[in-house]
Amino acid sequence: MAKSPTTTDHPSVICTVDVALLTLKHDALHVVLLKRQAEPFSGIPALPGGYVHAQEDKTAWDAAARVLRDKASIVSPYLEQLATYSGAERDPRGWSVSIVYYALVPSDVLEPGHEDVMLTPVSRLPKLAFDHKGIIELAVSRVRAKSQYSSLPVYLCSEPITLPRLQAVYEAVLGESINKVSFRRKMDELGMLEPVEGEMEAGGAHRPAQVYRLRKEFRRELSIVARGINS
């Protein structure tokens, strides 16, 4: 065991972060991909990512947030660690570590402008750089699993929200229809929404829906229930 106080005995590890930035478009999960500008995999779509900047980032989470800010102009999304991919084979430059995060945003915070930004349905992924295809698949399955028993999908919605729209979001994420009564019981149990008194969402030839907002306690924190939404 070395006792070199400041620097590395084993410097030959590349340390990066990548972010699977997910959103909902046309009732389907999409992921943000960027065409790579540099080798390796130049020109191939990849997740937004980059080196950890030890001088600048306090943690890998901060590095992921910086990547989102710089490459997608996203400022404070729901951002959580997914897993860490590592090994000698995944990057031709050498033994690499990628600490991977996933983020959820409402589609309206994505700027349409950017060149090279591809908003791609997760069910139709093209060839991707590195092991990013497997990463996205893991991210999607994680989001599906957490959506079963938590308020996670609200981060795909812009506020304020109505229960019918939120149910459509859950159904899009989970890929199956949900019983309306059960869904509303579950949202009540989650306790994350509060009605905005008197506010209704009109806009159709039908009864308007009650408007809700997310309680402050759940703006950055998930709400969890013991038994999931479907079986």
Partner DNA sequence: GGAATAGTGTCTCTAAGACAGTATCTA
Partner DNA sequence: TAGATACTGTCTTAGAGACACTATTCC
Q: Sign (positive/negative) of CA torsion 170, 140, 220, 27?
A: negative
Taking the complex as a whole, the smallest distance from the CB of residue 13 to a copy of itself amounts, in Å, to: 4
| Helix, strand, coil percentages for the chain (3-state, nearest 5) | 30, 30, 45
The nearer residue to a copy of itself, 86 or 107, going by C-beta atoms, is 86
> Residue 130 and residue 33: Cα distance in Å, rounded?
13
Task: Tell me if 161 sits within 8 A of 212, measured CB to CB.
Answer: yes
User: Which of 43, 87, 164, 175 is in the footprint of DNA by CB under 7 A?
Assistant: 164
Residue 87 touches a copy of itself, criterion: CB under 8 A: yes
Q: Choose one: 34-42, 50-58, 137-145, 223-231; the region binding DNA (CB under 7 A).
A: 223-231
Residue 9 touches a copy of itself, criterion: CB under 8 A: yes
Crossing angle for the helix pair 163-174 and 180-190, nearest 10 degrees?
100
Residue 186 touches DNA, criterion: CB under 7 A: yes
Q: What is the DSSP letter of 207?
A: P
Residue 97 touches a copy of itself, criterion: CB under 8 A: yes
- With CB under 8 A, what is the number of residues at the site for a copy of itself? 44
Residue 37 touches a copy of itself, criterion: CB under 8 A: yes
- Cα 127 versus chain centre, distance: 20
At position 94, the amino acid (one-letter code) is G
* 216 touches, from DNA, a copy of itself, none (C-beta below 5 to 8 Å by class): none
Residue 163 touches DNA, criterion: CB under 7 A: yes
Taking the complex as a whole, the smallest distance from the CB of residue 224 to DNA amounts, in Å, to: 13
Q: How many CB atoms lie within 10 A of CB 152?
A: 22
User: Which of 26, 94, 127, 181 is in the footprint of a copy of itself by CB under 8 A?
Assistant: 94
Tokens of 148: 């079963």
Task: Tell me if 29 sits within 8 A of 122, measured CB to CB.
Answer: yes
Q: Choose one: 14-22, 93-101, 117-125, 204-212; the region binding DNA (CB under 7 A).
A: 204-212
Longest dimension (CA), the chain: 74
Residue 200 touches DNA, criterion: CB under 7 A: yes
End-to-end CA distance of the chain: 51
Contacting positions for a copy of itself (CB under 8 A): 1-15, 37-39, 50-54, 58-61, 81, 83-84, 86-89, 92-95, 97, 99, 226-228, 231
Could you list the residues that contact DNA (CB under 7 A)?
162-164, 178-182, 184-186, 200, 202, 204-210, 227, 229-231
